[in-house]
Amino acid sequence: MAGRRRASKHGVVVLCLLLTSLVACGGRPTATDAAEADVQHVLDRRAAAVLDRDKAAIAETGTASWFENVSAVPLASWSYKVTAVHRTGATATADAELRYQVQGYDQAPATVARNLDLSLDAADQWYVVSEKPAQKTSQLLWDQGEVTVVRGKHSIVLGVGQSGERLHSFADLADHAVPAVSDAWGTRWSRHVVVLVPKSLEGMAGLLGSPASSYRGIAAVTTGETGAPAQAPADRIIVNPDAYGLLGTLGRQVVLTHETTHVATRADTTAATPLWLSEGYADWVGYRDTGRTPAEVAPELGEAVAAGRTPAALPSDADFGFGGSASGLATSYEGGWMACRMIADRWGEAKLREFYRAVGTHKKRPGAVEEAMTKVLDTDLKTFTAQWQEYLRDQLG
DSSP letter string over 12-44? Answer: HHHHHHHHHHHIIIIIS--HHHHHHHHHHHHHH
Q: What's the pLDDT tens digit per position in 109-143?
A: 999 999 999 999 988 999 999 999 999 999 999 99
Q: For residue 77, is it within any domain? A: yes
226 pLDDT band, cuts 50/70/90, is: low
pLDDT at 296 over 60: yes
Q: What's the pLDDT tens digit per position in 40-52?
A: 999 999 999 999 9
- CA pair distance 14, 67, nearest whole angstrom: 56
pLDDT for res 12: 35
State which of 223, 243, 269 marks the end of a domain.
269
Q: What is the CA radius of gyration of the chain?
A: 28
Domain count, the chain: 3
Q: For residue 21, is it within any domain? A: no
Domain identity same for 307 and 240: no
Domain identity same for 261 and 158: yes
Domain identity same for 76 and 125: yes
Q: For residue 154, is it within any domain? A: yes
pLDDT for res 217: 84
Q: Read off the CATH number of the domain in which 73 is found.
A: 3.10.450.50
Q: What's the pLDDT tens digit per position in 301-312?
A: 999 999 999 999
State which of 239, 269, 299 marks the end of a domain.
269
pLDDT at 10 over 90: no
Q: For residue 9, is it within any domain? A: no
Strand-by-strand arrangement of the 91-102 sheet: 75-88, 91-102, 110-120, 126-133
C-alpha atoms less than 13 angstroms from C-alpha of 376 in its C-beta half-sphere:
26
For residues 301 and 270, is the Cβ–Cβ distance under 8 A? no
What is the pTM (predicted TM-score) of this model?
Answer: 0.88
Domain identity same for 105 and 180: no
pLDDT for res 5: 36
Domain identity same for 121 and 142: no
Query: From residue 361, how far is each of 173, 190, 271, 273, 372 by CA, in Å?
Result: 31, 20, 10, 9, 9
Domain identity same for 146 and 257: yes
Domain identity same for 230 and 249: yes
Domain identity same for 171 and 124: no
The boundaries of the domain holding residue 179 are 138-269
State which of 136, 164, 194 marks the end of a domain.
136
Domain identity same for 263 and 282: no
pLDDT for res 266: 94
pLDDT for res 32: 63
Q: For residue 65, is it within any domain? A: yes
Q: For residue 23, is it within any domain? A: no
Beta partners for residue 82, in sequence order: 96
pLDDT at 215 over 90: no
Query: What sign does the CA torsion over 278, 282, 287, 288 have?
Result: positive
pLDDT for res 23: 37
Domain identity same for 210 and 105: no
pLDDT at 3 over 70: no
Q: Read off the CATH number of the domain in which 258 is found.
A: 3.30.2010.30
> Average pLDDT of 83-95?
96
What does the mean pLDDT of the chain come to?
90
Q: For residue 15, is it within any domain? A: no
Domain identity same for 262 and 349: no
Task: Output 67 or 29, whichever has higher pLDDT.
Answer: 67
Q: For residue 3, is it within any domain? A: no
Q: What angle do CA 131, 132, 138 make, to 5 degrees?
A: 150
78 pLDDT band, cuts 50/70/90, is: very high
Q: What's the pLDDT tens digit per position in 345-371?
A: 999 999 999 999 999 999 899 999 999
228 pLDDT band, cuts 50/70/90, is: low
224 pLDDT band, cuts 50/70/90, is: confident
> Average pLDDT of 76-81?
98
Domain identity same for 177 and 82: no
